[in-house]
Amino acid sequence: MNLLLIGSGGREHALAWKLSQSTQVERIFVAAGNGGTATTPKCENVAIGDGDLAGLLAFAQQQSIDLTVVGPEVPLVAGIVDLFQAAGLRIFGPVQAAAQLEGSKAFSKAFMQRHTIPTGWARVFSDFEEAADFAWGLDDLPVLKANGLAAGKGVVLPESRDEAVAVLRQMLVERSFGAASATVLVEERLRGAEVSVLAFSDGKNIAVMPPAQDHKRLLTGDRGPNTGGMGAFAPSPLATPNFLAEVERTVLRPAIDGMAAEGAPYVGVLYAGLMLTAKGLRVLEFNCRFGDPETQVVLPLLESDLVDLMLACIDGRLGETPPVWRKGVAATVVMASGGYPGHYAKGKEIHGIPGAEAAGCTVFHAGTALADGRLLTSGGRVLAVTGVGDSLLAAAERAYTGLADIHFDGAVWRTDIARPN
């Protein structure tokens, strides 16, 4: 089979790495890919952006692509699955109507309320004065969320009422996220530990993946600004069998059944971001795709052929082909460019990845590029160094042992991923 994989981050390198291990796969074209996918067996980068739906479709038709795999949310929310299906092509991911679970936080909140999925209360506003009055009158500080996609930056936890009003003004009046912040949610501020539960679905059946936790703050000890994620591990010790059964019963099952009942069966990966509050579990958000960096710890635990699994989802056969997971724990530590998530330099040469691999790690590239045979940094998050072991500590030790071999100017990472400080 020939595959087209869309995306260019660490998640996509992990997908390319796993898909390339399938004996059914001959070639994988990665649009646009990175320095890691450029050197993964069977893989070849092609310079088409993830927003160029027409270009991606034309490429898939020219190359007789047998299966397209979509990494990021942007093309899913833009309707790439509907477009490819209408052209008779096989593609893994939810249709546009189902991808609204991530594409519109107002839709997602109303959907959860319709299907009694546990989540915090929220009010939706498009008028600044009304939103500001409401937020000002609350006893507790709220969470403010841009309705549409905002590259992971659309959620703000203000620390004062003044800040809440200022953020509402930026979003609703100044349109800091463009059309994505023409509507905002003022949402109940929840407190508790967070865990991500991802599941495959064929529209009817569900197969849950090992639950993951990620570390969002830049600095060791959960300090500093929020980032796209500085590390992750799976399975999370918070996710006991009882907890997982509850998530399936109260969150995943009603979401999949609800989408089917509303005429848009959910096929693909459904990602539930959960918080364990004193009042019970609550959904913070749904995403319509694999997580980043969760994928870099979940896929190394998957024994099954990922192509088989994706085809089973597309064909409605997931019930007959449940995924097999290996025992053990995976941890990944992100190496970022100095200055991230603010301004950072690019083009720094990266050395030592073979040493980390010799230490038993898998090194996933996020922001790297190959230039004349040299591997250079090209983004904020540069690498995710994954280790697998019998325990959380063993997995973290392996990841950190490998990481010690890797060098580039200005590299920063947390020292407490999957381990106490």
The torsion angles phi and psi of 330, rounded to 5 degrees, stand at -120, 140
Q: What distance in Å separates the CA atoms of residue 65 and residue 91, rounded to the nearest whole number? A: 10
User: Is residue 292 at the binding interface for ligand GLY, with CB under 6 A as the rule?
Assistant: yes
Minimum distance from CB of 228 to ligand GLY (Å)?
A: 7
User: Is residue 120 at the binding interface for ligand AMP, with CB under 6 A as the rule?
Assistant: yes
Strands of 122-125's sheet in order across? 122-125, 184-187, 143-146, 155-156
Out of 102, 285, 294, 405, the residue judged to bind ligand AMP by CB under 6 A = 285
CB 205 within 8 A of CB 318: yes
What residues between 252 and 281 interact with ligand AMP by CB under 6 A? Answer: 273
Which option in ligand AMP, ligand GLY, none does residue 10 bind, with CB closer than 5 to 8 A by kind? none
Q: Where are the alpha helices (DSSP H) in 280-341?
A: 295-298, 306-315
User: Is residue 229 at the binding interface for ligand GLY, with CB under 6 A as the rule?
Assistant: yes
User: Is residue 214 at the binding interface for ligand GLY, with CB under 6 A as the rule?
Assistant: yes
Out of 9, 158, 291, 402, the residue judged to bind ligand GLY by CB under 6 A = 291
User: Is residue 238 at the binding interface for ligand AMP, with CB under 6 A as the rule?
Assistant: no
What residues between 185 and 214 interact with ligand AMP by CB under 6 A? Answer: 187-190, 194
Contact residues for 213 (Cβ-Cβ < 8 A; gap 6+): 193, 194, 195, 196, 232, 233, 234, 236, 238
**Residue of 143, 170, 271 whose CA lies nearest to 212:** 271
Q: Which amino acid is at 205?
A: N
Q: Which amino acid is at 165?
A: V
Give the interface segment with ligand GLY, choosing from 39-47, 109-117, 123-131, 289-297 (CB under 6 A): 289-297
Helix (H) or strand (E) holding 218: strand 217-219
Nearer to ligand AMP, 29 or 286 (CB): 286
Which option in ligand AMP, ligand GLY, none does residue 291 bind, with CB closer than 5 to 8 A by kind? ligand GLY
Which option in ligand AMP, ligand GLY, none does residue 94 bind, with CB closer than 5 to 8 A by kind? none
Q: What distance in Å separates the CA atoms of residue 386 and residue 402, rounded to the nearest whole number? A: 9
Number of residues binding to ligand GLY, judged by CB under 6 A: 6
Contact residues for 239 (Cβ-Cβ < 8 A; gap 6+): 195, 197, 210, 211, 247
Residues interacting with ligand GLY, by CB under 6 A?
A: 214, 229, 287, 291-292, 294
Which residues lie near ligand AMP (CB under 6 A)? 120, 143, 155, 157, 187-190, 194, 273, 284-285
